[in-house]
């Protein structure tokens, strides 16, 4: 056989030094495919990865072993639960504790942990595992996902830090919760399971509960409520902020601008949310009106933290005042920090827009804060994220109003909760027909990956122009 004939029998993707084994070309093609997407369109890779993960978890939840009755779960219920878990939302159409078996609950918990890492992190990890490298654009998108928390060559290390940070914080929360469940009379396996479940669910801002009554029975138990609030709050700050705090502690001057804005705006929203929620519900006998002062304060603080994407609730959302629901809508839409387990349009988006408005009111040409100028491109991305989020919510609310016939306040609350991956519910999700369930499913997916991916894509895509048209100002306002 000649040399040319020998070469013609090898797979097209064969490389020197690669063993010639049957079926090896499939993995080689897969590696080349993922590597090409990671380097050409990382945002598309992020969407693809999340889509594949959702399909896998939907399949697992559809199995008879996943339900407590041993029956096959309908597609719309399995898909909705899988998306809610992977997108760390917490909305449910069936009871997590009553409907799913231990296997089903375990699948949900793994989905929460995987989804909490984020779309861009998962995409970067997949590229690393399959292709053994990220490529320049892959590293750029991974670095952007963590808000430039390190140099380009350290992206692989930073990705490992994200996973280790998640495991350490969730482990600490579980250690705090397990003893309390033991004291309350649960067996050790039960207490361990519930402690781990709540730890992962809280840090990832998921809001799933393994108890049929949720955490309502523990509404005055600070041993349980405080770890849950801490887990949700830390998760909502985002991995870039957590890494800066690990490196620099509480030394304000060494924090980068993203960390300063995220923590400052988060505390402002937390304080404002607790104050407004408490005042509006203070005399509402259906929620906290009949409680003593300490319990009212506890409920107000807890509600403010959970409205930022946590999803745990101590009161029936249907019993809240209409004004409280409107304030809740605003807090849910705001969400948490960028590259975090929280949803919403993100607190830094809000900060940039308010700073731009303040600069315009003062007549300043630049938007400045803490000795730094915010680039004009960042403001364009912030506007895009806000408009995209508002459009998604508006269109989805319109569809759900038509499908369900429910009142506007309930539909808007459920819609924003799905988009912002909060998980608080007026029980509308469980009442919807399959068509409405699919609308919320798409909204949860878009809310988790859409605005983040859009922001990253816009931030990395810059077209060079060789000319500019003459400027002309339209009348604004």
Question: If you average pLDDT over residues 231-236, what whole number do you get?
Answer: 93
Distance CA 451, CA 88 (A): 15
The alpha-helical segments, DSSP class H, found in 15-88 are 24-40, 42-62, 75-86
- For 75-119, write each residue's pLDDT tens digit: 999 999 999 999 999 999 999 999 999 999 999 999 999 888 765
Q: Please determine, for residue 151, whether its predicted confidence score (pLDDT) is greater than 50.
A: no
Per the DSSP assignment, residues forming a β-bridge with 374 are 367
Query: What is the Cα–Cα distance from 456 to 140, expressed in whole angstroms?
Result: 10
The mean-pLDDT minimum among 17-21, 215-219, 349-353 falls in 17-21
End-to-end CA distance of the chain: 80
CB within 8 Å of 419: residues ≥ 6 apart:
333, 343, 389, 392, 393, 396, 443, 444, 446, 447
* Polymer length of the chain: 477
List pLDDT tens digits, range 44-64.
667 777 888 899 999 999 999
**What is the pLDDT at residue 16?**
46
Q: Write the DSSP symbol of residue 320.
A: S
pLDDT score, position 342 = 87
For range 398-408, the mean pLDDT: 95
pLDDT for the residue 6: 43
The pLDDT mean for the chain works out to 84
Q: Which residue would you say has higher pLDDT here, 339 or 266? A: 266
The answer to whether 200 touches 167, Cβ cutoff 8 Å, is no
Angle between helical axes of 408-419 and 322-334 (0-180°, round to 10): 20
pLDDT in tens, 311-327: 999 999 999 999 999 99
**Quick check: 414 pLDDT over 90?**
yes
Q: Which two tokens stand for residue 345?
A: 């349009």
Asked if pLDDT for residue 18 goes beyond 50, the answer is no
Percent of the chain with pLDDT over 90: 60
Q: Which residue has the higher pLDDT, 40 or 130?
A: 40
pLDDT of 128 > 90? The answer is no
Position 131 scores a pLDDT of 46
Tokens of residue 327, six digits: 């304030």
Q: What is the pLDDT of residue 42?
A: 59
Q: Is the pLDDT of residue 147 over 70?
A: no
Angstrom distances, CA of residue 168 to CA of 127, 199, 422: 24, 11, 23
> For residues 4 and 382, which has the higher predicted lDDT (pLDDT)?
382
With cut-offs at 50, 70 and 90, classify the pLDDT of residue 2.
Answer: very low
From residue 292, give the alpha-carbon distance in Å to each of 37, 215, 271, 304.
58, 19, 20, 19
Helix (H) or strand (E) holding 369: strand 367-369
Provide the token pair at 196. Answer: 């781990």
Is the pLDDT at 345 greater than 50? The verdict is yes
**pLDDT digit string, tens, across residues 256-291:** 999 999 999 999 999 999 999 999 999 999 999 999
């Amino acid at each position: 056989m000649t040399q040319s004939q020998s070469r013609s029998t090898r797979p097209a993707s064969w490389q020197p030094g690669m063993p010639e084994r049957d079926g090896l070309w499939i993995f080689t093609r897969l590696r080349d495919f993922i590597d090409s997407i990671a380097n050409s369109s990382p945002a598309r890779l992020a969407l693809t990865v999340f889509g594949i993960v959702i399909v896998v978890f939907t399949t697992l939840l559809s199995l008879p072993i996943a339900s407590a009755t041993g029956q096959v779960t309908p597609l719309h219920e399995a898909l909705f639960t899988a998306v809610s878990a992977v997108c760390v939302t917490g909305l449910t159409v069936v009871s997590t504790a009553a409907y799913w078996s231990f296997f089903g609950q375990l699948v949900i918990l793994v989905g929460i942990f995987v989804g909490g890492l984020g779309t861009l992190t998962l995409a970067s990890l997949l590229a690393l595992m399959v292709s053994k490298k990220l490529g320049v654009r892959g590293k750029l998108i991974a670095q952007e996902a963590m808000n430039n928390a390190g140099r380009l060559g350290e992206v692989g290390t930073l990705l490992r830090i994200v996973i280790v940070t998640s495991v350490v914080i969730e482990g600490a929360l579980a250690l705090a919760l397990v003893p309390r469940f033991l004291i309350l009379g649960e067996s050790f396996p039960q207490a361990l399971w519930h402690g781990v479940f709540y730890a992962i669910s809280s840090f990832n801002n998921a809001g799933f509960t393994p108890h049929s009554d949720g955490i309502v029975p523990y509404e005055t138990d600070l041993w349980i409520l405080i770890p849950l609030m801490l887990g949700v709050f830390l998760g909502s700050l985002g991995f870039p902020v957590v890494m800066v705090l690990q490196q620099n502690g509480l030394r304000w001057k060494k924090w980068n601008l993203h960390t300063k804005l995220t923590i400052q705006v988060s505390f402002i929203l937390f304080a404002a949310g607790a104050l407004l929620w408490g005042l509006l519900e203070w005399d509402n006998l259906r929620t906290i009106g009949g409680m003593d002062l300490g319990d009212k304060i506890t409920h107000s603080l807890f509600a403010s933290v959970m409205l930022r994407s946590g999803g745990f609730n101590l009161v029936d959302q249907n019993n809240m005042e209409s004004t409280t629901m409107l304030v809740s809508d605003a807090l849910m839409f705001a969400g948490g920090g960028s590259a975090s387990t929280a949803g919403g349009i993100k607190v830094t988006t809000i900060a940039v827009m308010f700073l731009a408005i303040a600069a315009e009111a003062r007549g300043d040409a630049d938007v400045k804060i803490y000795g730094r100028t915010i680039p004009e491109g960042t403001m364009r991305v912030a506007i895009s994220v806000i408009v995209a989020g508002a459009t998604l919510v508006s269109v989805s609310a319109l569809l759900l109003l038509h499908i369900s016939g429910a009142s506007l306040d309930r539909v808007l609350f459920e819609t924003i909760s799905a988009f912002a991956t909060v998980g608080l519910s007026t029980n509308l999700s469980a009442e919807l027909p399959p068509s409405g369930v699919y609308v919320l499913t798409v909204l949860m997916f878009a809310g988790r990956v859409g605005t983040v991916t859009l922001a990253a894509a816009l931030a990395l895509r810059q077209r060079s122009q060789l000319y500019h048209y003459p400027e002309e100002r339209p009348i604004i306002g």
